[in-house]
Every structure is written in C-alpha cells, then in structure tokens.
Amino acid sequence: MDFNLTEERMMLRDTLRRFLADKYAHENRRALIAAGKPYDTGIYAGLAELGVLGAMFREDQGGFGGEGFDLMVVFEELGRAGVIEPVLPAVLAGGLIAASGNGRQRGLADEIIAGTHLSALAQGEAGSRYDLNHVETTAAAEGDAIVLNGIKTHVLYGAEAQTLVVSAREAGAAADAAGISLFLVPVNSPGVTVSGHRNMDGIPSATVALDGVRLAETARLGAAGGGLEALEATVARGLAALCAEALGAMEAAKDLTISYLKERKQFGLPIGKFQALQHRMADMLIEVEQARSAVINLAGNLDQPRGLREIHASAAKNLIGRAGALVAEECIQMHGGIGMTDEYALSHFARRLTMIDHLFGDTDYHLERFIALKAG
Amino acid sequence: MDLNYTREEQAFRTEVRQWLKETLPHELREKVRLGKRLAKADVELWHSLLNARGWLAPNWPRAYGGCEWNAVQRHIFEEEACLAHAPRSLPFGLSMLAPVLLAFGSEEQRQRFLPRILNGQDWWCQGYSEPGAGSDLAAVKTRAVRDGGHYVVNGQKTWTTLGQHANWIFCLVRTDPDAKKQEGISFLLIDMNTPGVTVRPIVLIDGEPEVNEVFFDNVRVPAENLVGEENKGWTYAKYLLTHERTNIAGVGFSTALLTTLKHVAARVTSGGRPLAENPHFAARMAQAEIDLMAMATTNLRVVSAAAKGQAPGAESSMLKVKGTVIRQELTSLLRRAMGPDALPFQPDFLDGGSNAEALGPDHAAAAAPSYFNMRKLSIFGGSNEVQRTIITKAILGL
Ligand SMILES: Cc1cc2nc3c(=O)[nH]c(=O)nc-3n(C[C@H](O)[C@H](O)[C@H](O)COP(=O)(O)OP(=O)(O)OC[C@H]3O[C@@H](n4cnc5c(N)ncnc54)[C@H](O)[C@@H]3O)c2cc1C
C-alpha cells in the first residue's frame, strides 16, 4: 500500500493552495456574498486555467485526471478556503455529460472543462428528499418531441447555469428504479422557469419549473429509462467531492480553533491550558483523521463495482456528517461568542459543514443505506 | 410525594390556556410558530398584553406589580405560553435587573425603574461582557470615574443582546482599578441616549444582528444610577447570573420544540413513509423526549427546593447544562427532519416584513437558522464549561 499522493497530484494541490491563499481571502468571499454575487467569475476562470476542472475528468473525456484521488485533492483545498465557485456542478452535471453523452453532447464537456460553460444537475424534487430514484417529473413522447413537466428543487447553481441535466420519468411509478432518463435542457428553452436563491452556506441554488418543455430526442443523455445507474455513479463522485470538501473545511475550522485556544486569554491563561478544552481538541483531531480515512476509502473505491462503491459512499457520508457536526459545534463552542459571528471565518465553515450534511443524503440516510447495502 | 398537579394548579393551567387563546394575536402566534424574527413592536405588544392581565412579572412581589407565582405556577405558565406559540418575554428588565433592584437597589430606584419595565417605557439590555472579559467576567475594564455628582464612563461592552432596541443598559464598570479583580467593580445603570454612547450591530451566524457592541466615550452618568454600594457590584452581578441561569433550563421552549418536531416528522416523508416511522429518527426523537420528561421534573425539584422568591445556587448550573443540551439536540433534529429543505437561506420570509412565500414546507425556513442560533445557549449565561466547573467545586467539592 502507498498512502502518498503522486507527484502530479501534489503539484496540483500545492498550486491550488497557493492560488487560493493569494486570491481567496475570507473578507473577499464575504463581500462577494454580501453584494449578492453568486460567485466570482474571475476566480472561476482562474481555477479553470489552473487545470482544476480538467482534473475532474479522465483523459478520454478531455481531462487529465478524473480519479477519486483527483477529486479528493482538489475538493479538500476548495473546502479549506471556503470556495463557492461552481466546481461541484462540473463533477455532477459535467460528469454525467462526459460519461453518458454521445459525441455531440460531449462537446459540452470540453466547454465545461474550459470553464466557459456551466451545467447544473436538476435532480431533486419536493417529495424525493434524498432518494435519487424518486422522480415525479415526467418525460412524455409527443410526436417526435419529448415533453417535460415537473418541478426540480435545490438545483445547485441552477440560476447561473446555461444547461441543466434533468432527471425525468419516461415510465413507471414515482419511486421505481427503472424508467428514469436524463435530459440536457438549455435553460432558455420555452417553459423553463428558474428562480434562484442562496443557501445558508452562501452557495447559490434554484428551483426549476418545467412546464411543457419540448425537447428533441437528441436531448436525451444516455439510454432511455436507464438514467438511475449513471446518476448513482456520478452522485458517488459528487459525494467523494463533498466529503473531501468537508474534510478541508474541518481542517480549516480545527486550525482556527487551535490558534484561538493559544491566543485567547481568560483567567490569566490561554484557554488552551484548560484541560476541559484540551481533551476535546484531542478528540476532534482523532475524528478529523477518521474523516480523512473515510474520504480516502471512498476515493480509492470510486471505480469499483456498484456494491463496493456505494458501501464506501454511504460509509464516508455518514462518518463525515458525524465528524462535521462535531467539528462545527465544538469549534463554535470553544471560540465562545466570536465563533457565532458572521464576520469571522469559522461560522462559514460551520455552516458549510452543516449544509453538506443536507446534500445527497445526511448522516441518518446513509447509515440506513449502509445497513441495507451490507445486508444486500 | 405526589406528582399530580393540585386542583388549584390545574385550574390555573386552564385559566392560562384560556387567556392565551383569547388574547394572543393570531399574527404574532404565527410568527413565533414559524420561527420568524420578531420586531421590537411584537415584543412590546406581548409585554403590554401580559401587563394588562397583571402577568408580566411572575417573580416580583405583588407590591411592585408582580404576581409572586411559585415554582409550579411559573412552570405551568411557561409551558402553556410556549405551547401556544407566545413570544418570549424579554428577560433583561424583568428577570435580571429587577431582582437586583429588589434585593440591592434603593427604594427610589425601584419606584423609578420597575413601573417603567412593566409599562414598556424602558427596554433594558445587559452590559456585562467585554472583548477581554467573557467567561472571566471579573476582568471587566470599562472605567467609571467619579466626578462630582456623576460617573464618567469610558470603555466597551460587547454581545449586547437586542441593544439596538434598548434605551437603558445595566453595566458592570470598574470603579477601583487598584483593588483585586472582583473588588473594584460597580453596578451602574446607564441611559443609552446619553451623549457618548454608540451602538454597533454584530451579525451572527444565522444572518441576524441580534447582538451589538456598545461604546462609551466620556459618558456622564448621574451618581444616583449606582446600584447598591460602590465597588460591591460583583456580588450583585453574581446574584443576577443565578437568576439568568434558572430561565435557561428552557423546559417550556423544549416542550414546544418537541411538539413541532413531532408535527413535522409526521408529515415529512422519507423513503415513502413518514419520518416519524423511521426507526432511526424515531429513536432519536424518543430519547430527546425521555430526557425532556426527566428534565421537567429536575427543573421543578430544583426550583421548588429553593427558597421562595430566591434563585437556586449551584443547582441552577445543572439545569443550565442539561437544559441547553436538550434544546440544542431538538433544534438539530428539527433541522435534520427538514432534509434538503433546510438548505435555503430565506431572510425575507423570516423577517416577515414582505409577504415572501417560503420555499419548502412550514418550519423549513427557520430550521437551520435556529439550529445555528441555539449554539449560543451553551456559550452565554456562563458557558457550559464554566457551569461544569461550578458543579465540580460547589456540589462535588473537588
Ligand atoms: C448570542 C449571544 C448573546 C449574548 N448576550 C449577552 C448580553 O446580552 N449581555 C452580555 O453581557 N453578554 C452577552 N453574551 C456574552 C456571553 O455571556 C459570553 O459570550 C460568555 O460569557 C462567554 O464569553 P466569551 O464569548 O468571551 O468566551 P470565552 O470566555 O473566551 O470562552 C471561550 C471558550 O473557552 C471556555 N473557557 C473559558 N474559561 C474556561 C475555563 N476556566 N475552563 C474551561 N473552559 C473555559 C469557554 O467555555 C468557551 O468554550 C452573549 C453571547 C452570545 C453568544
């Protein structure tokens, strides 16, 4: 076994870390959000230029990475800096296009890698909670057109995207595994209404209404009715990205707290001298290392057959959810009042960690899924 | 022992419930039910309704307009008010400052300030904490120097809850810089409209400017606004803190939260069935409920053991720690119950100023913000770590 990163990945990590340390101060990010901007397009172009987006795709997809460890390295750094620019949609929507698209559709993947096109995944619905198979949006054949009807919720970066990858049902009942297809929907198609909002963690999101949206057959991504399999495989990659991002956020929150415990004096001592806090920091450190191992497990098993891959996906998301809550809550507590302020970076890491638990299945959801997968 | 409420207590509960039903305005009730943010006018309205009924000051003597309720009556009222989604009464004047004035203030001070708390003329805030004095409260540096009939105050307070609405602040100030830390502190009442007082809001993790920094720049305060004796403020400060802590057990809030949680879990579905039937979620909900059932009794045991009208001592630390842990767990469960609907940040809806529609179901908009906001419970009023130290020393003798 070898737990070292390849030289290429170390280089990627180091340049990305330097770039973000230079360009991504907490104050800038806060000012951007306060100004109502979804994200900084200049930074996003910079990330594309560094090759961050290319690292999310395999060579045969036009990239130069695409493995779990590439996701891990990139997203840990994004998490550490609190980046709100849309790299995740490149993994999700971009990943689906690259993996399932036909020749012409895959042209979009090139633009996504270049950072010139944004595509978002519109998968969730009001009744689906975290189930990928729960799809009530319909795709019905009408002559030689396909007509989409339904409402998609919590579409990350939906209002900024030019194209949506939409899951819709061509056959079967609401929660069936079969019958789900994926479609490429340009947001300016008649019948598409996108209403954007912002999430607790500063990430832009949207609700998308599809009202009689007419598409050509060629808008279908992958095989008719077989969308769930592709969706699940891509969401596993998204989970690896999110778990790594959470790990980065935990590292950053932990580091801030360690510094604070050394600086902050009460009763004439740095509060880090109180054993009541020391032992909890030690426990936190252990949990963060466990989180890192869970991320490594998932990253290293992303290309395994479904059963193994999904067991690791659920294991990682469950553990990351628990560790993330512990880190967020304990770091705030150990900071006292300062930890609760918007102005101080910690509260942003805490919000991001908490909100990551609400993306693609929380701790409880993945605990049950892990049990079911193990039994199956 | 008898765990049943007496016939009088039951009658009292019915009376409170009936009154709430008739008096609490629907709009206010809905705001509280959905976790929306209350405006200054909302709080003032609630105070005035309670005051009209004579129920605004549960622990004050009758002579000053209070109702002298015992521990059980207070518990019943709190529970009913929370379950009816009534706003919380502001504690700063009612249950922090007033007990101090009653115990240590002059009769003039009582006559001057207590009626104004009841009739809503004054909105008090608490000026204890400073940037360098948090858990170590006796480290306060804000200086008050006697100059003829005045004190001249210079310094800074922070974390002043709702100070943006307040016209008065009670402060711990240093009057003798040479004495030992605890011995040179005085308890001073400051009119916030005095020249030299500046208030700057601090936005918290939930997006709300709930707390403030308050700056004092050569603020002249009449000497008659000193409570008790000069340099004896630490005694009064500690007395106030035990009163502050008894309210932090928050059994009523937790009971209302649990009711909301059950309501939500019965309606939200996960994997095709109500979340309430999900064994994992149900187990966590049940454990919180079991803890709360015991907490309600612990609260009554401690509070009724304390002498009438007096706040309990170190035992209040137990109430604070356990009460806050339970309440935080309930807000965490409510947030999780919302699933992805906990994601959006909806300040327009929460402020209630516009007629903004909520994304997602009822209760979703406030779920994450109130989870984050409730992190404060284990930090303020003496952090939970500090409470554990008090328990260790005062009760365990370690
Ligand atoms: C939302 C909110 C509202 C508030 N409202 C008011 C208000 O209206 N008026 C007011 O005066 N104050 C208010 N406070 C201030 C509050 O009382 C302080 O935050 C609290 O006393 C803790 O102080 P601190 O934040 O400086 O943390 P610190 O004292 O710096 O503590 C940081 C951490 O160290 C721990 N710690 C400190 N000392 C010890 C020790 N000896 N042993 C073990 N652990 C220790 C603490 O428990 C905490 O976890 C409010 C605070 C908040 C968050």
Please, which residues have CB within 8 angstroms of residue A192's CB and are 6 or more apart in sequence?
A: A164, A185, A186, A208, A209, A210, A211, A213
pLDDT above 60: residue A5 = yes
pLDDT tens, residue by residue, A98-118 = 999 998 999 999 999 999 999
Kindly determine whether residue A337 and residue B134, on different chains, have CB atoms separated by under 8 Å: yes
Whose Cα sits closest to atom 31 in ligand 1?
A336
- Three state DSSP letters for B132-184: CECCCHHHCCCEEEEECCEEEEEEEECCCCCHHHCCEEEEEEECCCCCCHHHH
Partners of residue B376 in chain A, C-beta under 8 Å:
337, 340
Of A200, A325, A364, the CB nearest to B280: A364
How far does the centroid of ligand 1 lie from the alpha carbon of residue A306, in Å?
49
- Three state DSSP letters for chain A: CCCCCCHHHHHHHHHHHHHHHHHCCHHHHHHHHHCCCCCCHHHHHHHHHHCCCHHHCCHHHCCCCCCHHHHHHHHHHHHHHCCCCCCHHHHHHHHHHHHHCCHHHHHHHHHHHHCCCCEEEECCCCCCCCCCCCCCCEEEEECCEEEEEEEEEEEECCCCCCEEEEEEECCCCCCCCCCEEEEEEECCCCCEEEEEEEECCCCEEEEEEEEEEEEEHHHEECCCCEHHHHHHHHHHHHHHHHHHHHHHHHHHHHHHHHHHHHHCEECCEEHHHCHHHHHHHHHHHHHHHHHHHHHHHHHHHCCCCHHHHHHHHHHHHHHHHHHHHHHHHHHHHHHHHHHHECCCHHHHHHHHHHHHCCCCCCHHHHHHHHHHHHHC
DSSP state of B391: I
Among B79, B130, B210, B244, the active-site one is B244
Instruction: Tell whether ligand 1 has an atom less than 6 A from the beta carbon of residue B161.
Output: yes
B196 CB near a chain A CB, below 8 Å?
Answer: no
B332 CB near a chain A CB, below 8 Å?
Answer: yes
Per-residue model confidence (pLDDT) at position B2 = 83
Q: Which residues of B365-381 are buried (b: 16+ CB within 10 A; e: fewer)?
A: bbbbbbbbbbbbbbbbb
In Å, how far are A168, A180, A183, A306 from A226, measured between CA atoms? 11, 6, 12, 15
Kindly determine whether residue B205 and residue A274, on different chains, have CB atoms separated by under 8 Å: no
Extract the tokens encoding B5.
Answer: 């409420």
Per-residue model confidence (pLDDT) at position B244 = 66
Instruction: Tell whether ligand 1 has an atom less than 6 A from the beta carbon of residue B95.
Output: no
| Of B72 and A215, the one with more pLDDT | A215
- As a whole number of Å, the end-to-end CA separation of chain B is 32
Please state, in angstroms and rounded to a whole number, the distance separating the CA atoms of residues A327 and A251: 9
CA A223 to chain centre: 25
- As a whole number of Å, the end-to-end CA separation of chain A is 29
Instruction: Tell whether ligand 1 has an atom less than 6 A from the beta carbon of residue A267.
Output: yes
B224 is catalytic: no
Partners of residue B386 in chain A, C-beta under 8 Å:
none
Of B159, B342, B378, the CB nearest to A333: B378
Please state, in angstroms and rounded to a whole number, the distance separating the CA atoms of residues B344 and B360: 9
Per-residue model confidence (pLDDT) at position B300 = 86
Kindly determine whether residue A207 and residue B359, on different chains, have CB atoms separated by under 8 Å: yes
Q: Which residues of B82-117 are buried (b: 16+ CB within 10 A; e: fewer)?
A: bebbbbbbbbbbbbbbbbbbbbbbeeebbebbbeeb
Kindly determine whether residue A154 and residue B339, on different chains, have CB atoms separated by under 8 Å: no
Instruction: Tell whether ligand 1 has an atom less than 6 A from the beta carbon of residue A266.
Output: yes
Which atom of ligand 1 lies at the shortest distance from residue A275's CA?
A: 43
What global pTM score does this model have? 0.97
Q: With pLDDT > 70 as the criterion, what percentage of chain A qualifies?
A: 100
Kindly determine whether residue B344 and residue A359, on different chains, have CB atoms separated by under 8 Å: no
Extract the tokens encoding A141.
Answer: 């054949």
Instruction: Tell whether ligand 1 has an atom less than 6 A from the beta carbon of residue A341.
Output: no
**Helix ranges, chain B (H):** 7-23, 26-33, 40-53, 71-83, 91, 98-104, 107-118, 233-248, 251-267, 279-305, 315-337, 347-351, 364-373, 384-390
Question: Which candidate, A261, A260, A256, A290, places its Cα nearest to that of A277?
Answer: A261
Which residue type, as a one-letter code, is found at position A235? Answer: V
Kindly determine whether residue B340 and residue A126, on different chains, have CB atoms separated by under 8 Å: no
Q: What is the mean pLDDT of chain A?
A: 97
Pairing of strands B168-174, B197-202: unpaired
In a 13 Å sphere around the CA of A89, the CA atoms on its Cβ side amount to: 29
B270 CB near a chain A CB, below 8 Å?
Answer: yes
Per-residue model confidence (pLDDT) at position A376 = 84
pLDDT above 90: residue A315 = yes
- Secondary structure of residue B269 in the 3-state scheme: strand
Alpha carbon of A153: minimum distance to chain B alpha carbons (Å): 9
CB-count burial class (<10 Å; 0-12, 13-18, 19+) for B356: middle
Instruction: Tell whether ligand 1 has an atom less than 6 A from the beta carbon of residue B392.
Output: no
Partners of residue B336 in chain A, C-beta under 8 Å:
357, 362-364
B379 CB near a chain A CB, below 8 Å?
Answer: yes
Mutation choice for A interface testing from B379, B387, B390 by most A CBs within 10 A: B379
DSSP state of B6: P
Partners of residue A267 in chain B, C-beta under 8 Å:
135-136
Instruction: Tell whether ligand 1 has an atom less than 6 A from the beta carbon of residue B380.
Output: yes
How far does the centroid of ligand 1 lie from the alpha carbon of residue B182, in Å?
18
pLDDT by residue for chain B (398 residues), tens only, comes to 888 899 999 999 999 999 999 999 999 999 999 999 999 999 999 999 999 999 999 989 999 999 999 888 998 999 999 999 999 999 999 999 999 999 999 999 999 999 999 999 999 999 999 999 999 999 999 999 999 999 999 999 999 999 999 999 999 999 999 999 999 999 999 999 999 999 999 999 999 999 999 999 999 999 999 999 999 999 999 888 877 666 668 999 999 999 999 999 999 999 889 999 999 999 999 999 999 999 999 988 887 776 555 556 788 889 999 999 999 999 999 999 999 999 999 999 998 766 788 899 989 999 999 999 999 999 998 999 999 999 999 989 99
Partners of residue B135 in chain A, C-beta under 8 Å:
266-267, 336
Mutation choice for B interface testing from A195, A264, A349, A364 by most B CBs within 10 A: A364
Instruction: Tell whether ligand 1 has an atom less than 6 A from the beta carbon of residue B156.
Output: no
Please state, in angstroms and rounded to a whole number, the distance separating the CA atoms of residues B378 and A336: 9
Kindly determine whether residue A129 and residue B269, on different chains, have CB atoms separated by under 8 Å: yes
Query: Ligand 1 pocket test: which of B125, B126, B128, B129 has the largest number of ligand atoms within 8 Å of its C-beta?
Result: B129
